[in-house]
Amino acid sequence: MLRKIALFLLVALNLSFAAQADEGMWLLNKLHQLNLNDKGLELSPEEIYAINQSSIKDGIVGLTMESNPFRFFCSGEIISSQGLFLTNHHCGYRQVQQHSSIENDYLSNGFWAQNHGEELYNKGMAVSILSEIRDVTERIVPELENIADFKERNEKIRELSKVIEDEVNETSHYKSIVKPMFEGNQFYLFIYEVFTDIRLVGAPPSSIGKFGGDTDNWMWPRHTGDFTLFRIYAAPDGKPAAYSPDNKPYQPKHHFPISLQGVQKDDFAFVIGFPGSTDRYLTSFGIEESLEHSYPVRIEARGKKLDVMKKHMNASDKVRIQYASKYAGISNYWKYFIGQTKGLKALKVYDKKQAFEAELSEWILANEQRTTKYGNALKDIQESFEARREIAKTQQYYGEGLFGIEALLLPRRFNELRKVLENKESSDEDIAKAVENAKATADAFFKDYDSATDYDLFVAMMTLFTEGVPVEQQPELILKLSKKAKGDFTRIADKFYEKSIFTSPERFQEFLAKPKAKTLAKDPFTELWEASYQKYIALNTPLAPINAKLAEGKRLFVAASMEYQDEKALYPDANSTPRFTYGYVGDYKPADAVHYNYYTTIDGIMEKEDPNNDEFIVDDHFKKLYRAKDFGMYADKDGNLWVNFITNNDITGGNSGSGVFNARGELIGTAFDGNWESMSGDIAFEPELQKCINVDIRYTLWVIDKYAGAKHLINEMTIIR
């Protein structure tokens, strides 16, 4: 998953030439650097990325929210001429949850629209489709050469970026954003069409889409049907438009044909998606901070949250539905941090980073000009990490612990209402509008909120916070509450949750009927929020110059690394921009005497079935189809139905839902996970271990067709037999 600070990985990680070639998250406009036809690709770079004609990029979507269309949480691929697109079940999980209720439990039972009229609109959801990438480095970097101050430099970057973005945003329906690459040594403009009328079309039940649950998460072998279907709607002229019954299914410039041929070992495969972030230029000092200060708190806090949520979810179907998406999000990265900690230690990534840093330093110091330019980079990085060490762990206790109490964060969402109520010049109309907005916010919040669950979270997180944070770094109010509680925060919770307007929809509605600024200001959670946030800001304010020094050190470190290996094609860290990665289907050996095959079949689902474990439930309808071997055209030549397969494509979070394509650009699967043995891959790519876990497209189609009976969806796809 990393940019190829090739030398970095060549020397430090001892990669072979072939392994290097398989590593990398490449910008789509840089594919000509890779000689991909020599690697097995049967397409030209122009067939993948073109500006003036249809290309593969036109069928790739980034899943985001209308409020922030450039922050992608997942990826997807368009699979019909009617705007139908495929992504992961866990990517659409929140949308399915939002439409679910005890009466219509789509999480448990699945959802399949029988026609366009039954498809469900998802308010706030959006997808972006890349139109063009422009290298704007020469418009920005020369303007920064004489700016030494970090803050001033960033302000100049923002100023120049806005000018470049506005050239697109103010003259067309496209939306654009300038993104820095290589720690601010290069800059690119990304231009998108952003569609906001997105409707849920189909989702399997969680017994298929989340089969294996937390137990199998990040693990191989896997047997998960991790997919969901949505459809893009557009105005009659094909352009993005707000939701309207008059909108029509979007007709894309490109949609992907689907291959039923399957895969074999060593088959070429490529992935295009929107990877969120990697940190492969991270130094040994950054790894030390993560292992010693950040990850332990994250793991502990998330583990306690999961225990609390699971207890209440198991006791109530209503709470199970309310907290399903929250639980999944917390759980995913709880296990990720555990795995990354293990991987960083087991693979000795810290030692490898140190070795590279020593080699790079030797190269820098061998030349006076390089010494002047880069000589302080690593020193500045080291000093910055050391200077912020004291607060690093406390930051995690605030973010993961204290701010994990839902009711505590709610007062900040009503700041606008409070300002209007406090303003003596506010008209009745101003107040009415603010109240209406507050009501909408409250309705959305309380739909997925359970006071009893949050009560237990309050007790757990307040206990964790007060026991873990030095006294001088705690808010004065919490110190008083802690003293009063005498170690038992249930006494404080009783008062807060019985009195606060933020823990009861009824009390909040009563407040909105007669809104007063004093009621908001004197609420116990408002007072706790303000005290906590002010202390948090006070602790972090001194870090600003330290972080500025760190950022500049990282920029120079990366620049030096790039110059050191200037004969190599390099790729930047993932940063929520569309990337191409190529690799091959294949098995692997995770440990001595252990060998994993490169695919799993439906037989494995039945082997794992456990009716007493909600992670491994197999329903009767599924079992009936299995016993009948009713696999249709989706079976392999031996009559078996494949479920998942693995490749060595370089992916990370945000790639979830990315299409996996064969050498001809036909869809063969959907990426949904990485493997446990390479959890350190966001920091250092591990060529022998790194795997991308994918849903075999034939299993996806079998579930849609045979299990769900949604043949109409199959009929609108382009199937290659």
CB hemisphere CA count around 407 (13 angstroms): 32
Tokens describing residue 245: 């019954």
Q: Which residues are CB-neighbours of 490 under 8 A, at least 6 positions away?
A: 459
Taking a C-beta distance cutoff of 8 angstroms, is the pair 357, 283 a contact?
Answer: yes
Q: Which residues are CB-neighbours of 379 under 8 A, at least 6 positions away?
A: 553
What is the rounded distance in angstroms from the CA atom of residue 673 to the CA atom of residue 694? 7
How many helices and strands (H and E) does the chain possess?
Answer: 30, 23
Q: Which residues are CB-neighbours of 81 under 8 A, at least 6 positions away?
A: 251, 252, 255, 716
Instruction: Look at strands 84-87 and 74-78 and give their pairing.
Output: antiparallel
Taking a C-beta distance cutoff of 8 angstroms, is the pair 635, 603 a contact?
Answer: no
Tokens describing residue 390: 């004291």
Taking a C-beta distance cutoff of 8 angstroms, is the pair 4, 24 a contact?
Answer: yes
What is the rounded distance in angstroms from the CA atom of residue 652 to the CA atom of residue 656? 8
Which helix H or strand E contains 133, and what residues bound it?
strand 125-135
Annotated active-site residue 621? The verdict is no
What is the rounded distance in angstroms from the CA atom of residue 208 to the CA atom of residue 210? 6
Taking a C-beta distance cutoff of 8 angstroms, is the pair 8, 356 a contact?
Answer: yes
Q: Which residues partner with 230 through β-bridges?
A: 85, 200
Taking a C-beta distance cutoff of 8 angstroms, is the pair 223, 694 a contact?
Answer: no
Residue of 22, 58, 216, 226 with catalytic role: 226
Q: What share of the chain is helix, strand, coil (3-state, %, to 5)?
A: 50, 15, 30
Annotated active-site residue 90? The verdict is yes
| CA 102 to centroid of chain Cα atoms | 28
Residue of 656, 658, 678, 680 with catalytic role: 656
Annotated active-site residue 16? The verdict is no
What is the rounded distance in angstroms from the CA atom of residue 523 to the CA atom of residue 192? 44
What is the rounded distance in angstroms from the CA atom of residue 238 to the CA atom of residue 40? 36
Task: State residue 203 phi and psi, 5-degree precision.
Answer: -150, 130
What is the rounded distance in angstroms from the CA atom of residue 231 to the CA atom of residue 84? 4
Taking a C-beta distance cutoff of 8 angstroms, is the pair 208, 226 a contact?
Answer: no
Taking a C-beta distance cutoff of 8 angstroms, is the pair 191, 99 a contact?
Answer: no
Residue of 89, 90, 223, 293 with catalytic role: 90
Catalytic residues: 90, 226, 656
